Amino acid sequence: METRLRFLLGDLCANASLGTLIALVCAGLVSENWNPLLAMLAGMLLGMLLAFPASIVAGIYLGAFEIMIPMMLTGMVSGMAVAMLAAMAPLPVGEASQWGASLGIATLALTYMANAALRGEVSRWT
């Protein structure tokens, strides 16, 4: 788990901006006459397709292993949630971008917590 400030802020900005981008694209694509289940599937696919090249570009600067999982998960979650919300009711641009950024930050936080829980306590034998 990275602890240097440059990488933490980079992860935070990358996930928040990716979540916002995917939310805006999904909100623009999906309208109220979509079936929410189909909108959720389309949002998930679109989010993953947009997150892959974005994670490759961000991986150049922030490390590919550290950034790919949170960004792909952000793309999937943000796409699914915002597309389903847009299928149920009209979703303004500002609200969609807030949802996307919030989901991106929440996904990053959950990824960091899961990483810490899976690693557990590490003892060094010296």
- The amino acid sitting at 48 is M
Contact present, 107 and 19 (Cβ < 8 Å) = yes
Distance (Å, rounded) from C-alpha 100 to C-alpha 117?
Answer: 26
**Burial (CB count within 10 angstroms: exposed 0-12, middle 13-18, buried 19+), residue 93:** exposed
Contact present, 15 and 107 (Cβ < 8 Å) = yes
Calculate Rg over the CA atoms of the chain: 16
pLDDT of residue 8: 87
Segment 2-44, tens digit of pLDDT: 677 888 899 999 999 999 999 999 999 999 999 999 999 999 9
Q: Where are the domains of the chain?
A: 14-111
DSSP 3-state assignment of 91?
coil
Average pLDDT for 82-111? 95
Burial 68-91 (b: 16+ CB within 10 A, else e): bebbbbbbbbbbbbbbbbbbeeeb
This prediction has a pTM of 0.88
Select from 77, 90, 81, 78 the least CA-distant residue to 33.
90
